[in-house]
Chains A and B, each alone.
Chain A
Amino acid sequence: MEIFNNLIFGFGVALSLQNLIYCFVGVFVGTAIGVLPGVGPLVTIAMLLPITFNLPPIPALIMLSGIYYGSQYGGSTTSILMNLPGETASVVTCIDGYQMARQGRAGPALAIAAISSFFAGCVGTLLIAMFGPPIAEMALKFGAPEYFSLMLMALIAAACLSSGDMVKALAMVVFGLLLGIIGTDVNSGMARYSFGLPELTDGMGFTVVAVGLFAVSEIVKNLESPEKGEVFTSKIKNIMPTFADLKASALPILRGTGIGAFFGTLPGTGPSIASFSAYMLEKKSAKDPSRFGKGAIEGVAGPEAANNAAAQTAFIPTLTLGIPGSGTMALMLGALTIQGIAPGPQVMTAKPDLFWGLIASMWIGNAMLVILNLPLVGMWVQLLKIPYRWLFPSIIMFCAVGNYSINNSAMDLYLVGVMGILGYVLVKLDCPPAPLILGFVLGPLMEENLRRALLISRGDPTVFFTRPISLGFMIAAILILLTMILPAIRKKKVEAIVAGGGDKL
């Protein structure tokens, strides 16, 4: 079996001391930010992205993905113990997890959350290993028209399926595409939108945009209102779930994993929608739905499995097609790009050590997370006592030094400031920054593929509708737009997102 040989090869890469250390650092930091409210995965990855520029590609990617799936894990801890979701995907876990904690069953709730997360993480990883290579192989046959249509579909889907205002999300995609134009045009050598600054002829740095849009705006938003009071912490006794707990959770874990794996691969949905859908399914399929909201263990197992499965399968389109489905995945793709690796289906064949090493490291990281989360849960809770006024200057320090280090230029930091102001204003006006970064990442590729497609077809735009695969993507894109415009479905979506606490990813 080729997949096993590949996985063994991957473990060979991931088990090197250096990669193990970076994997550990990643999941450790990820758990910490998952626990801390107000410091989400987007901010943390944006903050650490410039620093990974100084690392070799494999450890950099291993660490960043550790942060990402680690934060999904860590989020459940504070949800269960104090009804505070560390990040949006764990909002649903609060509902029954916190009730279990109030009934003195915090231990089993945490254990089930960890077990379902671990199981879902492993399945998710296996799915990447299984479906990654065939998808990449198929994508290698795509020509320019197929790629353009695929990117168009992904951007439209990401804007429509994410929470909030669809029109503004689409507008932000366009804005991101415009920002992506900044720099020298590859075909004509002409500098576009460089405002006479030589630094801008290479394009706006990816990390500059990421830090400005996500880190600065998030910090300022958190500083608008005064800090919340002290949080209480409680002692946790007997971690082990009973046999009855395990039996009750088995099916929800399986169902949650399936739902999560599905939503993870779709652009724009991600862990939050996945965990919410899993919760609704458990509630509907339960014999006695009234137990939900009062400490039903299924209400913890299903959503926790779903958000971790989604966190893993989100890597499939990113790694195999080079097309990210969420803001976080766009940052991962950006990490590849600043390492000088062109994302796309060729990554798997050109850089097999990176692809399989990353997958194997996810497995290892998931195992590390169980150890980090169960016995050490008391330590994480202590983190909540750190006041935000100590955290945010430290985050700014990482952002500033990291961005300076990429080009050793102060100009990048001036631009971070400008993007920060822009990012904050956009967030205040409810214009989501995640679609913007997706557009920014895909912009240059889209222009290049559009240009090539029209060159092949001698300027005939119907080429996107006459080639069958391209036509399929176009139809999908139009269907997504249509279904979102139909009011009944839109209303349902709003309800789902309001109840799910919104999807910021």
Chain B
Amino acid sequence: MKVRLHENKDLLAGLLMVCIGSIAFYMALDYPFGSALRMGPGYFPRVLAGIFVAFGIYVALRGLRTGEMVQGVWGWKALTLITLSFWVFGWLMDRIGLIPSLVVLFFVSAFAGHEFKLKEVIILTTVMIVFAWAVFIYGLGMPYRLFWWD
């Protein structure tokens, strides 16, 4: 059997933990450690980061032994589009108001689905924008402008 390390579930998880833990430990070196009696701000983070790295090493080694693969496919396209819809919405909210930002959010995120039917997305966007206005602006009284000219 061919060894496929890049799909080895536990190896990847372990390496991710080791990476994050090492960065956390390295950053915590800037914070005073203190002593057990007077714990400095670096005490708790360094201990935790160390434990996290240890877990990571264990999980990675176990992955090499068991060789379990990641289940199913990776949904990179959906993940990218959905992350993007949050980022773009946040960026636009500061600039052009709620309604145009929501239009962009719906169109970007809808592309993450398996089917993109333009007519459906337009109807969904319209209905949900009315709903959003009713709940957020009218109901909860959030103080956002609807368009950039408001």
Contact = CB atoms under 8 A, between A and B. Distances in A.
B128 to A, nearest CB: 5
Nearest to A219: B82
B110 A226 contact: no
B124 A421 contact: no
Given A174-B55, A392-B109, A455-B37, A190 B87 contact: no
B65 interface: no
Contacts of A216: 79, 82-83, 86
Nearest to B110: A393
B45 to A, nearest CB: 5
Nearest to B73: A224
Given A178-B49, A192-B31, A400 B90 contact: yes
Contact of A393 (B31, B70, B73, B124): B124
Contacts of A388: 113
Given A54-B142, A410-B93, A413-B89, A178 B12 contact: no
Given A54-B140, A192-B28, A420-B86, A177 B48 contact: yes
A130 interface: no
A410 B90 CA distance: 4
A167 B55 contact: yes
Nearest to B112: A223
Nearest to B70: A428
Interface in B1-51: 9-10, 12-13, 16-17, 20-21, 24, 27-28, 31-32, 35-41, 44-45, 48-49, 51
Interface string B80-109: 001111110111011000100010011001
A37 B102 CA distance: 26
Interface in A113-172: 167-168, 170-171
B17 A175 contact: yes
Given A167-B59, A410-B93, A429-B16, A393 B24 contact: no
Interface residues of B, number: 69
B142 A178 contact: no
Counting chain A CB atoms within 10 Å of each CB, which of B39, B91, B115 scores highest? B39
A455 B43 CA distance: 14
A187 interface: yes
Given A175-B17, A188-B32, A190-B41, A389 B86 contact: no
A188 B90 contact: no
Interface of A: 51, 54-55, 167-168, 170-171, 174-175, 177-178, 181, 185, 187-188, 190, 192-193, 216, 219-221, 223-227, 388-390, 392-394, 396-397, 399-401, 404-405, 410-414, 416-417, 420-421, 424-426, 428-431, 447, 450-451, 454-455, 458-461
Given A171-B17, A393-B110, A424-B79, A401 B45 contact: no
A178 B41 contact: no
A394 B128 contact: yes
Contacts of A393: 105-106, 109-110, 113, 124, 128
A429 B114 contact: no
B120 interface: yes
Contact of A392 (B35, B44, B113, B142): B113
B83 A429 contact: no
B114 A223 contact: yes
Given A175-B20, A224-B72, A429-B12, A167 B52 contact: no
Given A393-B109, A394-B128, A430-B9, 4 more contacts: A54-B142, A224-B74, A421-B83, A425-B16
A496 to B, nearest CB: 21
